[in-house]
Amino acid sequence: MSGNGCYGGNEEVIRKKLEAEDHREEVATSDARELTLQLLTSKGFSDTEILQDSPVEVASNKGGTESVSVDFLVSVEGSRLMAIKCSMSLESRERHVLAFARAAFERPVPFCAITDGITFRLISTSDGRTITELPDELPEKKALASMAAGQPDDAISKERRDREAMVLLAFETTACPRVEGSS
């Protein structure tokens, strides 16, 4: 090696590639958020039932709390119904939104979803079962609320909630931009 560091002097090229990749992800996620909001309103949810980026405090295993959020938290008549995460990494972020739905509140949110704007994977929080992956098959508001009534409403055990919180917080710490100065 000729003193050019472990990247052979290509740090700037690598930094630019990572910035470009982060920018593409940011634009695609923004598009997915817009499409998801349109989908939710087309299914009968009102603006007042759709919270965006609302922070929730989750107990940390280090003591204290950490602030976490999902892109959308949908409630009907004051009851949380569905937590939604928009990401281009459906497979890896599915576990993230599932952990949020199980750990963010004393009683789990009945449904969670992960979407890239094209695929909308609706998941039963209690058993992790995929209900649908097609946006057109997302049930209308009343039907989804009725389905939620059939879901277990019990709080999960403290041990289980703590484990889910650890998973959630692990995802939250990896959600930071990789390139200093990128947003």
Residue 158 inside a domain? The answer is yes
Burial 7-32 (b: 16+ CB within 10 A, else e): eeeeeeeebeeebeeeeeeeeebeeb
Q: What's the pLDDT band for 19 if we cut at 50, 70, 90?
A: confident
Residue 181 inside a domain? The answer is no
Residue 33 inside a domain? The answer is yes
**CB-CB contact of 138 with 120 (8 Å):** yes
Residue 182 inside a domain? The answer is no
Q: How far apart are CA 141 and CA 156, in angstroms?
A: 25
Task: Give me the pLDDT at residue 156, please.
Answer: 83
Range of the domain at 70: 11-173
Whether the CA torsion 68, 160, 98, 172 is positive or negative: it is positive
Residue 3 inside a domain? The answer is no
Which amino acid is residue 32, in one-letter code?
Answer: A
User: What is the number of structural domains in the chain?
Assistant: 1
Structure confidence by residue, pLDDT tens digits, 122-171: 999 999 999 999 999 999 999 999 999 888 777 788 888 889 988 888 88
Residue 2 inside a domain? The answer is no
Q: What is the residue whose two structure tokens read 């199980």?
A: 102
3-state secondary structure of 120: strand
Residue 183 inside a domain? The answer is no
Q: What is the CATH number of the domain that holds 28?
A: 3.90.1570
Q: What is the residue whose two structure tokens read 């999902």?
A: 70
Residue 6 inside a domain? The answer is no
Mean pLDDT (whole number) for 62-82: 91
Which amino acid is residue 42, in one-letter code?
Answer: S
pTM value is 0.80
Q: What's the pLDDT band for 179 if we cut at 50, 70, 90?
A: very low
Structure confidence by residue, pLDDT tens digits, 20-45: 776 677 766 788 999 999 999 999 99
